[in-house]
């Protein structure tokens, strides 16, 4: 689950310049590694705040001290710090859903215990509802990223510093056609992705005020732009479409051993390969880590569209639902039937820059078609979970989410907005009494 796509087994020297044709061949061979689905992973990002009053800011010094303490404890899941100080745990590839859940749950218990010693805690929101973006990490990569993303407006800084997600990683699928075939899974990911955005939207606030979007985090990704945060056109063969997208995507930065990294403007990777100083294999590896589509092929498929969830175990529900819909053949077929009609609303435009994904981020499951598809998908997942070895506790959590949110056309963002309205009404009532 690391940022590098290299598996160390390719004969190409990483410091040797690569041609346009070599880039296409490498991307096609590396990013879709097919075989029967057998492994699963999850990356859980968290905002770190005061344990009892999360609306209070935490100083960089306190964060650094807490993270130094975390680096001293053993974890099975690699722990990384995001540019704004968010914490991310990336599970090792698991051979079952329950192995993945148990590994990450144990690591999260350890992380929470260490943070609690400094009165800090993990909070699950897709976007920080209280605080403005603030860089915690000062590294050449993030300096260059900030400079690049600032060209399209403030969305990049929000994405870097105040957003968090649950990213589910599934195998690319089989080479053969069928419910578990890689082409079907690629198509399913981009249609089901909109349903997952709507069902798990949990970022309606910036600066404690509504943005008009239930998943503001997804809005921010859209505002970053199609070249950086978009998918390739949906009607192409996955390997070819992704390879073309990689070549035509803008280069974020050119790394240097000393001093700030160069941030070119308007240079695509394809143009770079045709220049007098073409990129190396290592530059290609790095370029792939600077592309943030909602579904990122990295040998496996990384589904990046789910907002971070409330509660200590809220992340388990999107993981379980997604795993069931991708890795159980019967559930995968049911999910495909449920989301296929949504393709018309995408207008054959790449995700997330199409009307389907826009409606999912803005309206959530208040959208009748998205709600209908979500009910069908959650029901199929719930039926499949026993076949995946899920425990009764996991199945109960999915069933509770289905009844509390999906069947009601709601998502966690609606709870946040309800609480905000209640707070505003109480404040308004006190003001009326005083006057």
Cα 7 from Cα 2, distance rounded (Å) = 11
Render pLDDT for 91-107 as a digit per residue (tens, 0 to 9).
Answer: 999 999 999 999 999 99
Render pLDDT for 292-306 as a digit per residue (tens, 0 to 9).
Answer: 999 999 999 999 999
**188-215 b/e (C-beta count within 10 Å ≥ 16 → b):** bbbbbbbbbbbbbbbbbbbeeebbebbb
Arithmetic mean of pLDDT, 348-375 = 98
430 — pLDDT class (breaks 50, 70, 90):
low
Give the angle subtended at the CA of 241 by the CAs of 337 and 227, to the nearest 5°: 105
Please compute, for residue 168, the number of CA atoms within 13 A of its CA located in the half-sphere on the CB side: 25
Whole-number average pLDDT of the chain: 93
Within 117-266, where are the H helices? 140-149, 155-162, 182-199, 216-224, 226-229, 238-248
What is residue 9's predicted lDDT score, i.e. its pLDDT? 35
Checking if the pLDDT of 428 tops 80, the result is no
* Nearest Cα residue to 184 out of 293, 32, 368: 32
Checking if the pLDDT of 429 tops 90, the result is no
3-class DSSP state of 147: helix
433 — pLDDT class (breaks 50, 70, 90):
very low
* Nearest Cα residue to 220 out of 68, 382, 372, 353: 353
Q: How far apart are the first and last CA of the chain?
A: 58
Contact 203, 217 (CB under 8 A): yes
**Quick one: residue 153, left, alpha or beta (phi over 0 = left, psi -120 to 50 = alpha)?**
left
What is residue 425's predicted lDDT score, i.e. its pLDDT? 81
Q: What percent of the chain has pLDDT over 90?
A: 89
**Quick one: residue 347, left, alpha or beta (phi over 0 = left, psi -120 to 50 = alpha)?**
left
**Quick one: residue 171, left, alpha or beta (phi over 0 = left, psi -120 to 50 = alpha)?**
beta
Arithmetic mean of pLDDT, 146-165 = 97
Give the angle subtended at the CA of 196 by the CAs of 191 and 201, to the nearest 5°: 135
Render pLDDT for 128-143 as a digit per residue (tens, 0 to 9).
Answer: 999 999 999 999 999 9
What is residue 427's predicted lDDT score, i.e. its pLDDT? 76
What is residue 12's predicted lDDT score, i.e. its pLDDT? 38
What is residue 2's predicted lDDT score, i.e. its pLDDT? 36
What is residue 424's predicted lDDT score, i.e. its pLDDT? 80
Render pLDDT for 63-81 as a digit per residue (tens, 0 to 9).
Answer: 999 999 999 999 999 999 9
For residue 345, what are its two tokens? 């609303």
Checking if the pLDDT of 209 tops 80, the result is yes
- Strand 87-90 versus strand 40-50 pairing type: antiparallel
Cα 401 from Cα 142, distance rounded (Å) = 36
Whole-model pTM: value is 0.94
What is residue 7's predicted lDDT score, i.e. its pLDDT? 35
Checking if the pLDDT of 5 tops 60, the result is no
């Amino acid at each position: 689950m690391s940022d590098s796509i290299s598996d160390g087994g390719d004969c190409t020297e990483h410091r040797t310049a690569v041609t346009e044709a070599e880039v296409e061949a490498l991307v096609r061979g590396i990013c879709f590694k097919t075989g029967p689905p057998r492994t699963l992973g999850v990356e859980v990002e968290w905002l770190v705040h005061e344990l009892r009053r999360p609306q209070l800011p935490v100083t960089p010094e306190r964060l650094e001290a807490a993270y130094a303490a975390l680096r001293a404890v053993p974890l099975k899941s690699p722990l990384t710090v995001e540019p704004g100080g968010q914490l991310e745990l990336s599970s090792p590839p698991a051979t079952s859903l329950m192995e993945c859940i148990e590994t990450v749950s144990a690591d999260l218990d350890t992380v929470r215990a260490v943070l609690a010693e400094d009165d800090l805690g993990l909070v699950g929101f897709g976007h920080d509802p209280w605080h403005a973006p603030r860089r915690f990490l000062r590294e050449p990569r993030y300096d260059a990223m900030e400079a690049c993303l600032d060209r399209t407006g403030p969305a990049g800084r929000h994405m870097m510093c105040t957003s968090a997600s649950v990213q589910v990683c599934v195998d690319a699928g089989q080479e053969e056609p069928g419910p578990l075939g890689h082409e079907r899974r690629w198509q399913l990911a981009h249609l089901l992705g909109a349903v997952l955005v709507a069902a798990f939207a949990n970022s309606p606030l910036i600066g404690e005020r509504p943005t008009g979007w239930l998943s503001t985090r997804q809005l921010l990704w859209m505002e970053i732009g199609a070249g950086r945060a978009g998918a390739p056109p949906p009607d192409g063969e996955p390997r070819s479409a992704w390879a073309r997208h990689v070549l035509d995507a803008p280069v974020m930065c050119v790394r240097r051993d000393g001093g700030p990294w160069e941030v070119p403007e308007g240079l695509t990777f394809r143009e770079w390969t045709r220049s007098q100083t073409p990129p190396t294999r290592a530059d290609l590896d790095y370029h792939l880590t600077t592309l943030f589509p909602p579904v990122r092929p990295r040998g496996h498929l990384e589904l990046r569209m789910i907002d971070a969830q409330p509660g200590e175990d809220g992340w388990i529900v999107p993981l379980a639902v997604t795993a069931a819909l991708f890795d159980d053949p019967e559930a995968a077929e049911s999910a495909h039937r449920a989301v296929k009609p949504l393709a018309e609303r995408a207008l054959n435009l790449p995700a997330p820059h199409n009307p389907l994904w826009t409606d999912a981020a803005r309206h959530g499951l208040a959208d009748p078609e998205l709600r209908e598809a979500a009910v069908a998908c959650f029901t199929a997942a719930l039926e499949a979970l026993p076949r995946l070895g899920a425990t009764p506790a996991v199945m109960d959590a999915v069933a509770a989410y289905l009844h509390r949110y999906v069947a009601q056309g709601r998502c966690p963002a609606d709870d946040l907005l309800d609480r905000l309205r209640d707070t505003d009404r109480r404040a308004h009532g006190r003001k009326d009494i005083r006057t």
